[in-house]
Amino acid sequence: MTAIGDNTAEEGASGMARQAGVPRWLLVCAIVGVVAGQLVHHSALDRAWLLALHQRPWRGDDAWLFLTQMGDSAWVLLVLLALAVHSPQRLAWLLKSWILGAIASPLLKRAWDTPRPLAVLDPALLQAVGQPAAGHHAMPSGHAMAAGTWVALWFCFLPRSPWGHAVRVLALCGGLAVALSRVAVGAHWPGDVLTGFGLGVLLVALAVAWESRRPWAQRLGRAWVWPASLVLQAVLVGVLWQQPWEGAGKQVANALALAVALVSVGCAWRSRSKKALHV
């Protein structure tokens, strides 16, 4: 069985096998998400589902803030970078997905230019949490796009084993909860998050296809990659902690991301120290 982060010949063989077949089912999932999002967006369900969620008797502000922060692109990149940096193949998929998302998200938001809920609805109808945006550029949800990318990458990263399937289920549930949180905090319509989630899955499909044709994995196995990843992780931590205070839930999520990064660095340092002793 191959562990997360191990870069073995067995992983390379299974990774190449998955690489060839992954884009097909990813594309199906992506299309379903985007089509469902557009159907909801252009129907009365968009408003009805939003208002129904905001009539919930339990506010749970910190829980929603925790989940919505997990959809921040910096949070997703930080955690996945910590887990993927020791596997050049996984790191290539992650970086290419992130590059595609960084280009696609702002372009699509400007192209659709749809108003957010707080821009068109009476604030009294919503249980807004934190400081949700109230302008335009609602479609697609960037956080939901990051959540879709998170889920699809976990499906690509993990081996076909009982524990791998269990973690996939957890990743899927977590990603869907993050997408739902964007509606719960009042930042997006349901159609925004469905579309964004589908587009996030599509980004991974495109990244995997890109890697199969123009691989970066060999170059990402070089010695300079790990120090460079540490610098990037430090920058991402700074970005997260400089965000405005909105509640304890957001800070707990940031602390979790920092803990994952520190554990990853500690394990890598220990592994490298052991190798140095045997040289």
Query: Are 201 and 152 a contacting pair, CB within 8 Å?
Result: yes
Whether residue 2 is contained in a domain is answered as no
| Whether the predicted model's global pTM rises above the 0.95 cut | no
Residue 276: per-residue pLDDT: 58
Residue 273: per-residue pLDDT: 67
Whether residue 3 is contained in a domain is answered as no
Residue 2: per-residue pLDDT: 36
The maximal CA–CA distance of the chain, rounded, in angstroms, is 68
Whether residue 75 is contained in a domain is answered as yes
Cα 132 to chain centroid, rounded = 19
pLDDT tens for each residue of 70-110: 999 999 999 999 888 889 999 999 999 999 999 999 999 99
Note down the domain range covering 174. Answer: 9-277
Whether residue 1 is contained in a domain is answered as no
Whether residue 103 is contained in a domain is answered as yes
Whether residue 91 is contained in a domain is answered as yes
What Cα–Cα distance (Å) separates residue 80 from each residue in 5, 61, 156, 212?
Answer: 11, 26, 12, 20
Residue 20: per-residue pLDDT: 40
Residue 111: per-residue pLDDT: 93
- How many domains is the chain partitioned into structurally? 1
Tens of pLDDT along the chain (279 residues) come to 333 344 443 344 344 434 444 557 888 989 999 999 999 999 999 999 999 999 988 888 999 999 999 999 999 999 999 888 889 999 999 999 999 999 999 999 999 999 999 999 999 999 999 888 888 899 999 999 999 999 999 998 888 888 988 999 999 999 999 999 999 999 999 999 999 999 999 999 999 999 999 999 999 988 888 889 889 998 999 999 888 888 899 999 999 988 988 888 787 777 666 665 655
Residue 90: per-residue pLDDT: 94
Residue 202 makes CB contacts below 8 A (sequence gap 6+) with 26, 27, 30, 31, 34, 148
Helix (H) or strand (E) holding 1: none
pLDDT tens for each residue of 168-179: 999 999 999 999
Residue 10: per-residue pLDDT: 36
Could you report how far apart the first and last alpha carbons of the chain are, in Å?
Answer: 27
Query: Are 140 and 196 a contacting pair, CB within 8 Å?
Result: yes
Residue 58: per-residue pLDDT: 81
Residue 3: per-residue pLDDT: 38
SS3 46: helix
Residue 86: per-residue pLDDT: 85
Whether residue 4 is contained in a domain is answered as no
